[in-house]
Every structure is written in structure tokens, then in C-alpha cells.
Amino acid sequence: MSLVTRCPACGTAFRVQPAQLSARGGKVRCGKCRTVFDGIAGLMEERTELLSLEPSPQLGLFDPSRRAATAPEPATREEEDDEDVPVPEFLLREEPRRRPWLWGTLAFLAAAGLLGQAAYRYRTELAILFPQARPALEEACRLAHCEVPLPRRPDLVGIESSDLQAVPGSDSLIVLNAVLRNRAPFAQQYPSLELTLTDDADRPVLRRVIGPSEYLAEASPEVLRRGLPAGAETSLRMNLDPGSLAATGYRLYLFFPQ
């Protein structure tokens, strides 16, 4: 930042730096008429019109060639007293220090936060693409009180076969047999089944949703947690009691609850 001060003796304006003004309490020597004056008191606004600016008057105090050509002037009592004039605060203000390491740290933390959010949002997909990373993802989820759910791709799970038969010796019991197959190259969550019983006109008379814990009642919780293995099949057999409903047909669908 450059300032403009004016010599009170000859009216010449000069550009000066704050460091020059603060060097000797604001005392400068006019480079034109050699007058020593208070550069701080002579500060003026730098206007848009052209000014006749001379070289900095501070050079008159520090340039050896100029000191040699001119005999040093004895300091007056008034000049000695001016040495104690306080320097304005804006001249002593230091430039703010830049801290590039701080911005680098903040950028790194922001990038790490975004990566963490993406890993949480797509943890299931990451476990599919990188099966070896599943233990690490599950451990991270354990600390974050979440879980890594198994994939749910209903288009890659099919009902290979199914039938509904009456139980011999019973007036109302029926038995449902079905085979589910996972066609995906990765393990999937066991789907839920929707069984609809219909009458002679194919109208629904009873609808029931059957979850994995029902049609795999004899399976352990660990088997349900691991899901239906890649390319594997599972058979189910369930006894149902529709009561007195006259059901002559059925429909069976699989789906994943939201």
C-alpha cells in the first residue's frame, strides 16, 4: 500500500510507503527543496487527477550519494521532540499471515467426510463389488450402530417351482411347496412371499404374506443373516389352514419389503 504526502515548503507531492514513514517517526526530507518535514502530518488523499509526484523523499535520508553532496543539517530542538510523535495505528498494523496448511487440513477433512457418507450410502454395493471388504464394512457399521444389508434384486431371484395340495385326512389344511433360486453371482436377502388363494372364478378369497422366518422356521438366525447364496436354491414346505374358505386355485409371488 503506497501513500501520498506533500512537502509544506514547496508543495511537491511524493509517494511513500508505510515502512518509510514508520522508520523515523514519520520524518522525511523533501527530495526537491531538501526540507525535513513530518510526512505523516502531510498525508493527503490520492485523487484521480494527475499529480506531479517526485521520488520518495525518504531516499534523501538514506541515499549515501545525497548525504555526501549535502552537509547534514543540525537537528533543532523541535525536530528532536518530534522523534517521540506516535505512529498511526494503521502504519503499525501487520499484514495477516496466510495459513495454507489450515485450508489444506479443512479440505482433507471435507473430502474424508464426503467419502464416509458415500461409503455409508453405498455400503451394500461396495460389499458386492469388493467381497473382501465386507468384514471391514461390518465392523465400521457396528461402531456406527448400523448394518450392511444383503442385496435385494428381485429380478435375479425366481420361483423355480411351486404347488399347493390338500393334506390327506384333513378337511381344511393345505401344504405349500416351492423352490426359490438365486440367479445372482452374489448372496441375496431371502425374499418374502405373497400367497393368494382364489375361487373358481379366479377371484381372491385369501391373501397372506409369508416372511423368511416363517417358511424357513427351522433355519438358524445365522443362515438367515448370510442370505441365499449365489446361484443356490432353497426348498420350502409350509402347512396352511384357510378355514372354511372354498379355495380352488392360488397365485404365488416373491418381493422384498420396503
Q: How far is CA 168 from CA 8, 164, 198, 239, in A?
A: 123, 13, 21, 12
Q: How far is CA 150 from CA 187, 224, 228, in A?
A: 7, 10, 9
List, in order, residues 6 or more apart from 134 with CB less than 8 Å away.
Answer: 127, 148
As a whole number of angstroms, the distance between CA 46 and CA 109 comes to 45
pLDDT score for 1: 60
Q: What angle do CA 24, 29, 35 make, to 5 degrees?
A: 130
Burial, 58: exposed, middle or buried (Cβ in 10 Å; 0-12, 13-18, 19+)?
buried
Burial, 191: exposed, middle or buried (Cβ in 10 Å; 0-12, 13-18, 19+)?
buried
Domain ranges of the chain: 3-92, 100-143, 154-255
Q: Would you state the CATH architecture of domain 154-255?
A: Distorted Sandwich (2.70)
Which ranges of the chain would DSSP assign to H, the alpha helix? 18-23, 59-62, 64-69, 77-82, 89-92, 100-121, 123-129, 134-143, 212-215, 221-226
As a whole number of angstroms, the distance between CA 200 and CA 246 comes to 9
* pTM of the predicted protein model: 0.50
Written as tens digits, the pLDDT of the chain (258 aa) is 668 888 888 888 878 777 777 777 778 888 888 888 887 887 886 654 444 455 555 444 444 444 444 444 444 444 444 455 555 555 556 666 667 777 788 888 888 777 777 777 777 777 777 777 778 877 888 887 778 888 889 999 999 999 998 888 877 788 999 999 999 999 999 999 999 999 888 899 999 999 999 999 888 998 998 899 999 999 999 998 887 787 888 999 999 988
List, in order, residues 6 or more apart from 200 with CB less than 8 Å away.
Answer: 248
pLDDT score for 92: 56
pLDDT score for 74: 45
